Structure 1
């Protein structure tokens, strides 16, 4: 988050002095120290593909998905480029993974073996831009319970660490591309998380294979994309209501549950709208004691 002309840093409606902001950043807010530089309104992230086995089709699709609604641009490096900081797409082992964001003087390594789904490509690119997991948010305890006493797979217990994040008034999103599923990391396929909104218990982490409205809004807020677009659109403040935001073409990007050109109509809250949309995946089954499983058990049916 770059300082303004007067040296202060604006976060939501709160202006911090440079000293206050540096103090906040020191308190585990490393995602905001991991932002790639922005020039002329564009966050240019150079990359190279070190392993030719990385799926270029999935990678290009993931690039396009993030670029379509943010000011981020992924640019393939030429052989003559001498960047010190760039994304390096590699294959090491079978785990999909990425370093978090930008680090001055260092390469951000993104590991994308053939087992990684298209969704995983988008997820790992989210990390490469500086995003943490949704369940690491500072307000996560209002939305999920991380279950203690679970036998985790090696290294997975740290994935549920509570972090002191700034969330920019963006609501917790069970369907975030950055959210894990409810049993992920368990050695014995036990629940590792419980959703306080029970409708999302089996859906969190599965309910969207796409980047969500709130994912886009977070990136656009972190990188000040929306502020730049507002200036270009000659708007002093964002006219989009109810969690919407101004896009590059000056129209409003509106969250599910709203309607109107300016998202001015709140028809239902986001979680209610998402649960209604996902009702296809849920059903009430009455039996007389017989055991019932879905075709894809233990995955939610059809969510793959």
Structure 2
């Protein structure tokens, strides 16, 4: 038998190299996975999926080449999402003029089934990588932006290795086949803290198989930030992306600054002014008025509060139906009392969705401060008038309602008393 020709050997070597590259890329999709419960003593900043999955810089400008794979994709929705990222970062999206483009690029396609993509740039992927959007996904600006942010390399917050300091993941409530979406990964966070308001923080009912909560914040007031609709990058999103792509370094140089003049985690942006986190004031973010999370709650969920006295809890202007999105968490803690009662005078919310969840509007009631939490969801007319529920020491009410023009449901009204 004759030996393979040099051309055949070269082709075999090339195919082997491409296969190995694909394997390495798959390993670096999120970083290195670890099962829940493993100790957190390792330095998460030393292991990263960012570096290999970043899009390349050309003349100091990180550039994401893209093209539309078919004409059924909502071009305007995608371009609006790209414009948001370009406004807040130094990343630029550049449309490929030729369908025969040879090099890393996004191919944005319509899908009838699901929204999906590879997180970050596929290394040595010269024929493009697909980003799929369904019509439902494309109709939601926040969803389009989330997909694009994942495409530039940012992972969901609930995949952070330090997430166990901030959230509980309720695996028993997660759909079969979706567990991989909740694995903790080692990837670089650049010192940016966990962000409940990140564009890539999933909501409390993400991938639920039974209508029950899958993600609980350890501080249940943060449920409100997890649930509120997001259509822009949060401050922490901007800080992390701009740090990872070295935008902040370039802007310091362009502004002739030897070091960052901004305080309290602020950073110098392209206009040579400080981009300051929520809860700070001043040209250099020097005045910290409250914590980042408290500032967000004050703006996005002003009805969230902690109480230790009798009170009436109701939806806005009950019983008048409301169209706008509303999210709040009410925490009642007893001081010397052993029991807290809540009596409902009226309860009329949107009914359960096809997946049996209170996806449009719902009230989750916690009758204790159990950890991890064990709340019960109610929607529709599931709580009859006059019903009294009793809590032991702590009562927590988490209410969320999506934006719903033409809503006809009245909401709820209840009295809370300490016994």
Normalising TM by the smaller chain, what interval? 0.7 to 0.9
Distance in 2 (CA, whole Å) between partners of 1:127 and 1:218 is 13
Aligned residues of 1:146 and 1:193 also touching (Cα < 8 A): yes
Residue 83 of structure 2 corresponds to 64
Matched, 1:288 2:343: yes
Q: What are structure 1's unaligned runs of at least 5 residues?
A: 1-23
> CA shift at 1:291, angstroms?
5.6
Q: Distance in 2 between matches of 1:80 and 1:93?
A: 23
Q: Which moved more, 1:80-89 or 1:209-218?
A: 80-89
Number of equivalences:
280
Per the TM alignment, residue 165 of structure 1 is displaced from its structure 2 partner at its CA by 2.1
2-structure distance, mates of 1:172, 1:70: 20
Q: Do structure 1's residue 88 and structure 2's residue 107 form an aligned pair?
A: yes
The residue aligned with 2:400 is 300
Aligned equivalent of 1:108, options 129, 143, 160? 129
Identify if the C-alpha distance between structure 1 residues 163 and 155 changes in structure 2 by more than 3 Å, giving closer, same or farther: same
Deviations 1:100-154 (A, max 9, x none): 111233222111111111111100001110111111111111110112322x324
Q: Where does 1:206-221 land on structure 2 (aligned, <5 Å)?
A: 206-221=228-243
**2:156 counterpart residue number:** 133
Instruction: Give the stretch that moved more between structures: 194-203 or 24-33.
Output: 24-33
What is the distance in 2 between the residues matched to 1:255 and 1:240? 10
Map of 2:202 onto structure 1: 180
Take 1:210 and 1:126, find their aligned partners in 2: how far apart are those partners? Answer: 11
* TM-score, scaled relative to structure 2: 0.63
User: Could you give the per-residue CA deviations for residues 40-81 of structure 1, whole angstroms, max 9, x where no partner exists?
Assistant: 221111100012111111111101100001110001111276
Q: Is the 8 A contact 2:44 2:188 kept in 1?
A: no
Report the Cα distance in structure 1 between the residues aligned to 2:400 and 2:241, rounded to whole angstroms.
Answer: 29
Is the 2:252–2:259 Cα contact (8 Å) retained in structure 1? yes
Give the deviation of 1:205 after TM superposition: 4.5
Q: Looking at CA atoms only, which structure, 1 or 2, has the larger radius of gyration?
A: 2
How many Å apart are 1:25 and its aligned residue?
9.9
User: What residue number does 2:282 align with?
Assistant: 260
Could you tell me which runs of 5 or more consecutive residues in structure 2 were left unpaired when the two chains were aligned. Answer: 1-42, 306-311, 315-341, 351-359, 363-398, 405-419
Give, in angstroms, the shift of residue 270 of structure 1. 0.3
TM-score, with length taken from structure 1: 0.85
Alignment partner of 1:289: what SS?
Answer: strand
When residues 236 and 27 of structure 1 are mapped into structure 2, their CA distance, relative to the original with a 3 A threshold, is: closer
What root-mean-square deviation, in Å, do the aligned CA atoms of Structure 1 and Structure 2 show? 2.3
1:282 positional shift: 4.7
SS in 1 for 2:93: strand
Mapped to 2, the partners of 1:291 and 1:108 lie a distance apart of 52
CA 1:293–1:220: 2 relative to 1, 3 Å: farther
Q: Is the 8 A contact 1:32 1:130 kept in 2?
A: no
- Would you say the 8 A contact 1:100–1:108 is kept in 2? no
Bigger share in strand? 2
Cα distance in 1, alignment partners of residues 274 and 144 from structure 2: 27
Q: Equivalents in 1 of 2:347, 2:185: separation in Å? A: 39
Does the CA contact (< 8 Å) of 2:265 and 2:277 recur in 1?
A: yes
Matches within 5 A, 1:1-304: 29-79=48-98, 82-106=101-125, 107-116=128-137, 117-150=140-173, 152-280=174-302, 282=304, 285=313, 288-290=343-345, 292=347, 294=349, 296-298=360-362, 300-303=400-403
